[in-house]
């Protein structure tokens, strides 16, 4: 099995890479932070008997996505599972106060980046009439929340794209799954609040948030069902969370 994971340098992507390696999958891992990619590649190669190919690129650049992915040796193009995970929130403001630059980075990463990677990889899956796309959405793509506006919009877009992808790929025997996590403690909030660690920490205060490993287990479960079974849409929250808006804090 070959699995391509975008955004493998931290959080869900890193945990998914480790989980898939544990189960014997060869991996293409991607992200912008070269040092983190190299470190993960070493850890995986030292621990598991799998091959790892690292690609350092920004998913917001169509040119880079195409060039880097197409540069891989033929063997690596036989991708069985594509995990579209790279993404982020940038800022959290009322719609009339939002920073345009934040909106652009979220739309370009979460929506356009996912599309660029998918557009490059899917023809290889179609040619083989085989494959599985797992898009990481969010509870933010199921219900909007105050000041979430554009981030929520990008994740609603991921939800819609996933549903339409599933229809388009039906004749080609390609599975499409969405995994939509709620609040999970990764680098997500640190990135959203631009390095303000106190603010990032406060997001998870008073309840027990999801961890990256929880999501990795679910992604592996989805990827390891028998050929005739597809998990279409998974929503997973911490015990204390009912939706994007309702979190019970003690
Ligand atoms: P992290 O910040 O820990 O990880 C995000 C990953 O995305 C990093 O590996 C980062 O790599 C990569 N990434 C971000 N921007 C780019 C880019 N332009 N090009 C390439 N890679 C990029 O956050 P999470 O693990 O939490 O987030 C993973 C996904 O899960 C995201 O899509 C997020 O929206 C979603 N999500 C997160 C939730 C949470 O509560 N944490 C809940 C629901 C969904 P690098 O910086 O090296 O480029
Ligand atoms: C991340 C979860 O609720 O912080 O997608 O937007 S949330």
Both tokens assigned to 148: 């979430």
* Pocket-testing residue among 111, 135, 139, 211, ligand 2, by greatest number of atoms within 8 A of Cβ: 139
Sketch the domain layout of the chain as residue ranges.
2-183+211-236
Catalytic residues: 151
pLDDT for the residue 138: 98
Q: Which DSSP state fits 171?
A: G
Q: Is it true that domain 2-183+211-236 has CATH number 3.40.50.720?
A: yes
The two most distant CA atoms of the chain are separated, in Å, by 53
Residue located nearest, by CA, to atom 12 of ligand 1: 7
pLDDT for the residue 10: 98
Nearest CA-CA partner of 110 in 139, 143, 151, 57: 151
CA distance 198 to 202: 6
pLDDT for the residue 227: 98
- Residues with Cβ < 8 Å from 117, sequence gap 6 or more? 4, 6, 59, 65, 69, 82, 84, 86
Both tokens assigned to 34: 């070269």
204-221 b/e (C-beta count within 10 Å ≥ 16 → b)? beeeebbbbebbbebbbe
CA distance 32 to 36: 9
pLDDT for the residue 90: 98
pLDDT for the residue 22: 98
Atom of ligand 1 lying closest to residue 185 CA: 41
pLDDT for the residue 46: 98
Sheet strand arrangement including 131-136 = 52-56, 26-31, 2-5, 81-84, 131-136, 174-181, 233-236
CA distance 72 to 201: 39
CA distance 237 to 142: 12
Give ligand 1 pocket residues (Cβ under 6 A). 7-13, 31-33, 36, 58-60, 85-88, 109, 113, 136, 138, 181, 183-184, 186-188, 191
Nearest CA-CA partner of 176 in 190, 160, 192: 160
pLDDT tens-digit map of 182-228: 999 999 999 999 999 999 999 999 999 999 999 999 999 999 999 99
Segments of the chain scoring below 70 in pLDDT: none
Atom of ligand 1 lying closest to residue 59 CA: 19
pLDDT for the residue 163: 98
């Amino acid at each position: 099995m070959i699995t391509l994971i975008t955004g493998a340098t931290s959080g869900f992507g890193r945990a998914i890479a480790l989980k898939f390696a544990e189960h014997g999958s060869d991996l293409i891992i991607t992200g912008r932070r070269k040092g983190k990619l190299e470190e993960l590649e070493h850890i995986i190669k030292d621990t598991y008997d799998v091959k790892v190919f690292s690609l350092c690129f920004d998913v917001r650049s169509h040119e880079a996505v195409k060039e880097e992915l197409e540069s891989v040796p033929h063997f690596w193009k036989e991708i069985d599972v594509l995990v579209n995970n790279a993404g982020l929130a940038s800022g959290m403001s009322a719609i009339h106060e939002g920073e345009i630059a934040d909106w652009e980075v979220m739309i370009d990463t979460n929506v356009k980046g996912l599309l660029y990677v998918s557009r490059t990889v899917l023809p290889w899956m179609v040619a083989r009439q085989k494959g599985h796309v797992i898009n990481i959405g969010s509870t933010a793509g199921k219900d909007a929340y105050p000041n979430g506006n554009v981030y929520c919009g990008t994740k609603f877009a991921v939800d819609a794209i996933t549903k339409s992808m599933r229809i388009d790929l039906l004749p080609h025997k390609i599975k499409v799954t969405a995994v939509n996590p709620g609040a999970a403690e990764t680098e997500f909030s640190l990135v959203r609040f631009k390095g303000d660690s106190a603010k990032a920490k406060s997001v998870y205060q008073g309840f027990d948030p999801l961890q990256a490993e929880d999501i990795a287990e679910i992604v592996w479960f989805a990827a390891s069902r028998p050929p005739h079974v597809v998990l279409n849409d998974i929503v997973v929250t911490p015990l204390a969370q009912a939706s994007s808006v309702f979190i019970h804090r003690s």
